[in-house]
Amino acid sequence: MSEIITLGEFIIKNQTRFPESKGELSSLISSIRLAAKIVNAEINKAGLLDHIMGKVGDTNVQGEEQQKLDVYANEKFIKAIKARQQVCGIASEEEESFIAFESEQCRKGKYVILIDPLDGSSNIDVNVSVGTIFSIYRRVSPVGSKATLEDFLQPGHQQVAAGYVVYGSSTMMVYTTGDGVNGFTFDPTIGSYFLSHPKFSIPKQGQIYSINEGNYPFFNQSLKDYLRHIKLVDKESRRPYTSRYIGSLVSDVHRNMIKGGLYMYPGTSRKPNGKLRLCYECNPMAFIIEQAGGKATDGVQRIMDIKPTELHQRAPLYLGSSDMVDEVESFLKA
Ligand code: P6P
């Protein structure tokens, strides 16, 4: 039995990696831990309490129906993060613009955070797993001033931390601060997260591919050629691959992290930049995947090298096992 380490103990043990941060980053990650517990408790009751089921009637900045739980999750994460007075601002999928925290203490914060508070929320009403995604940067604006948009539009390789919470058959928090990826499973009987998946390492090759093939008519020919290739029967390369698509980025990526695989949300003739948002979905997942030994590209370039120009901009995403990303890129670049 490996050593029993709580997430709190792990955060403290690892904060020595950021000598310039006097525990700010630890406190910030800890606030995410707390908010995830609160959201998890509500998600687990979603089938019982109609006040959190279904749609809130509004649409978010993406024009997507807002589910009541993603509004709830957004409020809880913003409140928990703001209360720690460690970040100067936050950007969220559910907020049109970034929020610059006004207090003097917050303006001294060295970090900004971007979140997708409840990704895959359309799955809530059908009891399929959903997730939270977060990304943390050092601010580029002067400490003591108000956060600026530039603080949030940094390329992904500038991230100091990124992670996700998957509210699945069990609730897990998986995150990196640039020194590998570790997974913590929540024990609701104790109310703590325990280290359950130390040092994630995604297999270089896998046989699982995740894509919404309902969009096939709108894929470009090179992607269609790849999808045909992986369906051919070839014992040596263990083709045909297996299709697994949950419709929840966090869940599909989490499975691929463990078993190996490739998640794709490509650009199409209808949506040339795909559906996923660069700043708070693609970049944090790319940081995590690369730290676990995988790859993440937009089909042409490394996701984390893209310089964002808009907070909610979208990017095509291919991420997972490095050999599988290389293989699909060989078709896309042919
Ligand atoms: P589609 C959820 O809305 C999400 O952002 C990801 O979590 C998921 O992988 C994808 O969109 C599903 O999109 O178009 O296949 O339903």
Model pLDDT for residues 69-102, shown as the tens digit of each residue: 888 899 999 999 998 888 999 999 999 999 999 9
Query: What pairs with residue 320 in β-bridges?
Result: 262, 295
The answer to whether 151 and 299 have CB atoms below 8 angstroms apart is no
Nearest by Cα to 201 from 181, 183, 185, 184: 181
pLDDT in tens, 101-156: 999 999 999 999 999 999 998 888 888 999 999 999 999 999 999 999 999 999 99
Q: Residue 22's pLDDT is what?
A: 64
Atom number in ligand 1 closest to CA 214? 15
Q: Residue 272's pLDDT is what?
A: 97
> What phi and psi values does residue 123 have, to the nearest 5 degrees?
-80, -10
- The pTM of the full predicted model, rounded to 2 decimals, is 0.94
Mean pLDDT over the full length of the chain:
92
Pocket test residue of 55, 119, 250, 312 for ligand 1, highest count of atoms within 8 A of CB: 119
Compute the distance between CA of residue 324 and CA of residue 205 in angstroms, rounded to an integer.
Answer: 6
Q: Is the CB of 248 under 6 A from ligand 1?
A: yes
Q: Residue 2's pLDDT is what?
A: 58
Q: 202 CA distance to ligand 1 centroid (A)?
A: 22
Mean pLDDT of 311-329: 98
Q: Residue 49's pLDDT is what?
A: 59
Atom number in ligand 1 closest to CA 131? 7
Q: Residue 16's pLDDT is what?
A: 72
Compute the distance between CA of residue 105 and CA of residue 328 in angstroms, rounded to an integer.
Answer: 47
CB burial string 276-297: b at 16+ within 10 A, e below? bbbbbbbbbbbbbbbbbbbbbb
**What is residue 163's three-state secondary structure?**
strand
Compute the distance between CA of residue 180 and CA of residue 224 in angstroms, rounded to an integer.
Answer: 34
Residue 61: band (very low, low, confident or very high) from pLDDT cuts 50, 70, 90:
confident
pLDDT in tens, 151-190: 999 999 999 999 999 998 899 999 999 999 999 999 999 9
208-332 — its CATH code?
3.40.190.80
The domain over range 7-197 is classified in CATH as 3.40.50.720: no
State what percent of residues in the chain have pLDDT above 90: 77
More confident residue, 14 or 220: 220
Q: Is the CB of 165 under 6 A from ligand 1?
A: no
Indicate if the pLDDT at residue 243 is higher than 60: yes
Domain ranges of the chain: 7-197, 208-332
Indicate if the pLDDT at residue 218 is higher than 50: yes
How many of the other CB atoms lie within 10 Å of CB of 189? Answer: 6
What strands lie across the sheet with 192-197, from one edge to the other?
99-100, 87-92, 111-119, 130-138, 159-167, 171-176, 181-187, 192-197
User: Apex CA 160: angle with CA 157 and CA 165, to 5°?
Assistant: 105
Indicate if the pLDDT at residue 52 is higher than 60: no
> Which residue, by CA, sits nearest to atom 14 of ligand 1?
212
Q: Is the CB of 249 under 6 A from ligand 1?
A: yes
Indicate if the pLDDT at residue 48 is higher than 50: yes
More confident residue, 3 or 103: 103
> Which residue, by CA, sits nearest to atom 12 of ligand 1?
247
More confident residue, 50 or 83: 83
Atom number in ligand 1 closest to CA 122? 3
Q: Is the CB of 119 under 6 A from ligand 1?
A: yes
Is 327 buried (19+), middle (13-18) or exposed (0-12) by CB count in 10 A?
Answer: middle
Q: Is the CB of 66 under 6 A from ligand 1?
A: no
Mention every residue, 6+ apart, whose C-beta is less than 8 A from residue 290: 296, 304
Q: Residue 44's pLDDT is what?
A: 80
Q: Is the CB of 24 under 6 A from ligand 1?
A: no
Atom number in ligand 1 closest to CA 116? 5
Q: Residue 1's pLDDT is what?
A: 46
Indicate if the pLDDT at residue 51 is higher than 60: no
